[in-house]
Amino acid sequence: MSNAMKSVKLTAAASYLIEQKYDEYRPEEHAVWAELVWRRRPHIESFACREYLEGYEIIGLKADKLPNLAAISARLKPRTGWNATPVSGFLPSDAFFEMLAARMFPTTTKPRSRDSLEYTPEPDIFHDVFGHVPMHAHRVFADFLQHYGNVCAKIQDKETLERLGRLFWYTVEFGLIREGAQTKMYGSGIISSQGECSNILEGGCEVRDFSLDEVLNTPVKVDSIHHLLFAIESFDQIYEAMHEAEKRVLASPPTR
């Protein structure tokens, strides 16, 4: 990464940065991580895309211990310039975009509790690290995500941001990819959720070919299982789609 990247100063996100106090995790918290990984690995091995599985090895996730974010970033940064940066919890959108633009992925350090193994509405380290971070080792995906943050950080118009939020949702969070004759997953919300993944495998979700127009026009439902998702052909496709989206935003600035 360039020196310019290293010297980036956060403003909106600065107050959300914390330290991960790794030695303070309790054995029970490591045990919950281990159980979550054990539950998800069979699906992941069969149905996660190649790039996710490669990233998983590259960042060195352990099956029995919560991830140490500094160690993960040390493996990730030389490849794509990304960090898994510890934050205190949910970030407002300006802080979130600012961090993505700086290749810093806002990463929650809190583990979920044993009684919310399947789902937690709060951000947690399992969704953030197991779900998101392996993909940040893939150069094209990593560049797409940084570009997404960079473009969104400059937008004030709520409607435009909502439409671009759909692009994030149907790719980074719930994206699928064709791999030969199969459809594989790369979106963190599918990777980290037994329910979402099973629903797709059992045919409960229609999978359409990715189209930027259709994605931008498909509202997001945050609290119900998905019945429509989109599959890309390659990560180049979303990289290019983001550039196209940027062109459209620049071509039609909001009237205020």
User: Catalytic pick from 127, 136, 138, 147?
Assistant: 127
Beta pairing, strands 176-179 & 182-185:
antiparallel
Please tell me the distance from the alpha carbon of residue 158 to that of residue 93, in angstroms, as a whole number.
Answer: 11
Task: Please give the residue ranges that form the binding site for Fe ion (CB under 5 A).
Answer: 188
* Shortest distance in whole angstroms from residue 165 CB to Fe ion: 12
* Shortest distance in whole angstroms from residue 211 CB to Fe ion: 22
The question of whether 179 is a catalytic residue gets the answer no
* Shortest distance in whole angstroms from residue 251 CB to Fe ion: 29
Q: Which is nearer to Fe ion, 128 or 179 (CB)?
A: 128
Position of minimal CB gap to Fe ion: 188
The question of whether 173 is a catalytic residue gets the answer yes
* Shortest distance in whole angstroms from residue 128 CB to Fe ion: 7
Q: Which is nearer to Fe ion, 81 or 187 (CB)?
A: 187
Q: Please choose, from the candidates 51, 15, 63, the residue with its C-alpha nearest in 3D space to the C-alpha of residue 171.
A: 51
Q: Please choose, from the candidates 249, 33, 19, the residue with its C-alpha nearest in 3D space to the C-alpha of residue 126.
A: 33
The question of whether 192 is a catalytic residue gets the answer yes
DSSP 114: G
Q: What are phi and psi of 227, to 5 degrees?
A: -115, 0
Q: Which is nearer to Fe ion, 31 or 37 (CB)?
A: 37
* Shortest distance in whole angstroms from residue 84 CB to Fe ion: 13
Q: Which is nearer to Fe ion, 188 or 218 (CB)?
A: 188
H or E segment to which residue 106 belongs: strand 104-108
Q: Which is nearer to Fe ion, 191 or 216 (CB)?
A: 191
User: Catalytic pick from 98, 136, 138, 192?
Assistant: 192
User: Catalytic pick from 51, 173, 179, 246?
Assistant: 173
| CB of 218 closer than 8 Å to CB of 228 | yes
CA distances, 78 to each of 37, 97, 136 (Å): 26, 22, 12
Indicate the burial class of 53 (C-beta count within 10 angstroms; 0-12, 13-18, 19 or more): middle
The question of whether 2 is a catalytic residue gets the answer no
Q: Please choose, from the candidates 184, 182, 198, the residue with its C-alpha nearest in 3D space to the C-alpha of residue 40.
A: 198
3-state secondary structure of 171: helix
User: Catalytic pick from 29, 43, 98, 132?
Assistant: 132
| CA 207 to centroid of chain Cα atoms | 20
Q: Which residues are catalytic?
A: 127, 132, 173, 192
